[in-house]
Amino acid sequence: MSRRREVEVSGMSFLDCICCGFGAVIILLVLTKSAEPVIAEQTPVTLAAKQEQLDRIAEENAAELDALEARLAAAQEGKAAAGRELASLKLTADTMQDKTTEVREDKTVATTLEERLATARQTLTEEMRRLQAAQPRRVASDAVAGIPVDSEYIIFVIDTSGSMQQFAWRTVVEKMNEALNAYPKVKGMQVMSDEGEYMYSTYARQWIPDTPGLRKTVLERLRNWQPFSNSSPVEGIEAAIRAFAAPDKKVSIYVFGDDFTGSSIDEVVRTVRRINPRDAKGRPQVRIHGIGFPTQYGSNGATAGGVRFATLMRILAEENGGTFVGLQTSQ
């Protein structure tokens, strides 16, 4: 009885072990199954969807191609229009060139006629000289009286100091106009201050063309022209000679002034002799004329500066083929 019970107890223990083993296996299978990765299924793109996408891209490309072709056509049309306009401009330019050539030729003819007329006016015949000598001498208030007018180029060197501006400027404009009228036509002219400053800087060291319009413009500019002045014409005279003296040109300088503040008259005379050479006949390259304006007077008569200006200009005019004229009144 007791032996049998022992057998049953050991059999039950074996079954318990077997059951536990199967349970462990089942648990492992459950854990292993739950840990496996889950792969999500992807919906495949059908051929119809692919075809629809490709058709849409093709339509977009076709629309873009049409737009590009339209832009290309517009650009080609613009190019053609520009070509037509360029051809028209070339035709217009050729026409204008022909007209310019005609005008230039006409101007050349007119200039030649004017120069011949000016030469005829400025050349005095022997009979005219005889009649002129028989006439009474003109009063000294005429600033161009006795001054030769055979020059081809004229330069005005003008004292723009305060005394000239205040007491003689209206007469300066009048005398310059009279001097210009004495030359119906010249090849060139120039206006400088007594410091050597050009009235028109664009024409520095160049001749201003002589036209009625430019003569009028110069006179109008002169009315309000006020560059710095040291009341000495020396700088302007020397600058004019150095810039414009030439052996093949007849040049005259007109010096308008009333005062000389320089240190030495002799030094100025020597300098002008050096820079204004003479030809084989003893004639200087540049004539120098002087116009004296009577502004330098005090209670005791003419001032020292006024007397020195008159002395300087008389010597320069005498040595350089010119004439000095002292005005009796400045207004």
Beta-bridge mates of residue 324:
290
Residue-wise pLDDT tens digits, 67-113: 888 888 888 888 888 888 887 787 777 777 766 776 666 666 566 65
pLDDT tier at 301 (50, 70, 90 boundaries)? Answer: confident
Gap between the Cα atoms of 272 and 295, Å rounded: 26
pLDDT at 244 over 90: yes
Write the DSSP symbol of residue 258.
S
Q: What's the sign of the alpha-carbon dihedral 199, 201, 202, 208?
A: positive
- Local confidence band at 19 (pLDDT 50, 70, 90 cut-offs): confident
pLDDT tens sequence across 58-79: 888 888 888 888 888 888 888 8
Cα–Cα distance measured from residue 157 to residue 257, given in angstroms and rounded to the nearest whole number: 8
* pLDDT reported for residue 74: 87
pLDDT of residue 320: 96
Residue 230 CB neighbour total at 10 angstroms: 15
- Measured distance CA(329)–CA(325) in Å, rounded: 12
Range of weakest confidence among 39-48, 91-100, 203-212, 268-277: 39-48
User: What's the distance, Cα to Cα, between the start and end of the chain in Å?
Assistant: 175
Mean per-residue pLDDT over the chain, rounded: 82
Higher pLDDT, 11 or 82: 82
Top pLDDT among 120 and 51 is at: 51
What is the structure's pLDDT at 136? 47
For 269, counting Cβ atoms within 10 Å of its Cβ (0-12 exposed, 13-18 middle, 19+ buried), the class is middle
Does the pLDDT of residue 137 top 50, yes or no? no
Selection from 304, 298, 227, 312 nearest residue 268 by Cα? 312
The rounded distance, in Å, linking the Cα atoms of 265 and 318 is: 14
- Kindly write down the DSSP assignment for every residue of 197-247, as one continuous string: -BSSGGGTTSPBP--HHHHHHHHHHHHT------S-SHHHHHHHHHHH--T
Q: Which residues pair with 289 in a beta bridge?
A: 254
On the question of pLDDT at 246 being above 60, the answer is yes
CA–chain centroid gap for 40, Å, is 82
Exposure on the CB side of residue 306, measured as CA atoms within 13 A:
15
Q: Who contacts 188 (Cβ-Cβ below 8 Å, separation ≥6)?
A: 152, 153, 207, 208, 209, 210
pLDDT for the residue numbered 302? 79
- The predicted model scores a pTM of 0.57
pLDDT of residue 241: 97
Confidence of residue 139 (pLDDT cuts 50, 70, 90): very low
Range 111-118 average pLDDT: 60
Residue 44 is predicted with a pLDDT of 56
Q: For 306-329, how does the pLDDT look when each residue is reduced to its tens digit (9 = 90+)?
A: 999 999 999 999 999 999 999 986
Tokens 């692919």 -> residue: 50
In whole angstroms, how far apart are CA 96 and each of 5, 87, 103? 143, 14, 10
Locate 21 and state its tokens.
């083993």
